[in-house]
Chains A and B, each alone.
Chain A
Amino acid sequence: NAGVTQTPKFQVLKTGQSMTLQCAQDMNHNSMYWYRQDPGMGLRLIYYSASEGTTDKGEVPNGYNVSRLNKREFSLRLESAAPSQTSVYFCASRIGITDTQYFGPGTRLTVL
């Protein structure tokens, strides 16, 4: 039981490049989340998926898109990366019955 896994662990992009961050959970959780973590700002919610087939914007959705591919997988796409998107990205999941969110190990993204 791996919990929440994220790939890649590290990525460097040039301004304007695109990429997709992958997240998968093997806990049969209904809800999945994408956060970004910046120094001095805690974690901010980018997008979430309350259940398979649905996605909604969070606090900071601009510049991102998401896909809930199936119950296990929730991907985050940057279509045209900007230096302001340099951050550590965390995926999380929640079963829905409880409010505990389980976080992945994170992806450190640098946009030059």
Chain B
Amino acid sequence: GENVEQHPSTLSVQEGDSAVIKCTYSDSASNYFPWYKQELGKGPQLIIDIRSNVGEKKDQRIAVTLNKTAKHFSLHITETQPEDSAVYFCAATILGGNDMRFGAGTRLTVKP
């Protein structure tokens, strides 16, 4: 089955700096890669996703890039703010499928 690895496990940045979280996946059949943000005491919430037919997607301060050949994808957050502090999870699955595999998570801390 699919295996997703995520790095780093913790990341601390100064407010205004950029943050990058990287994930690799093993199953070349995977074609849908969402990113979830989990705030303390809450369930994960989708913040951005990308399908394998595109290489990059942006939504305001958040962007995701995908390299299908290398089987890795990354989350980029620019101009970080304290409210970006949370645990971020990447995931990989086949579109329409039910077996989504998650990375282990990255705890991002944005220091004011």
Q: How many residues of B contact A (CB 8 A)?
A: 26
Q: Find out whether the CB atom of A41 lies under 8 angstroms from the CB atom of B104.
A: yes
A99-B6 contact given A42-B102, A44-B102, A104-B43, CB 8 Å threshold: no
Q: Find out whether the CB atom of B104 lies under 8 angstroms from the CB atom of A42.
A: yes
B105's nearest neighbour on chain A, judged by CB, is A42
Q: Find out whether the CB atom of B43 lies under 8 angstroms from the CB atom of A4.
A: yes
Q: Find out whether the CB atom of A59 lies under 8 angstroms from the CB atom of B1.
A: yes
Question: Which residues of the partner chain B approach A100 to less than 8 Å between Cβ atoms?
Answer: 34, 46, 49
Give A26 Cβ to nearest chain B Cβ, in Å: 15
A40 located at the interface, meaning its Cβ lies under 8 Å from any Cβ of chain B in the complex? yes
11 contacts between A and B (CB under 8 A): A31-B98, A40-B9, A42-B6, A42-B102, A43-B89, A45-B101, A58-B99, A92-B43, A99-B32, A105-B41, A106-B43
Residue among B9, B89, B98 with max Cβ neighbours from chain A (10 Å): B98
Question: Which residues of the partner chain A approach B46 to less than 8 Å between Cβ atoms?
Answer: 100-102
A36 to B17, CA, bound (A): 33
Question: Which residues of the partner chain A approach B11 to less than 8 Å between Cβ atoms?
Answer: none
Residue among B89, B93, B102 with max Cβ neighbours from chain A (10 Å): B102
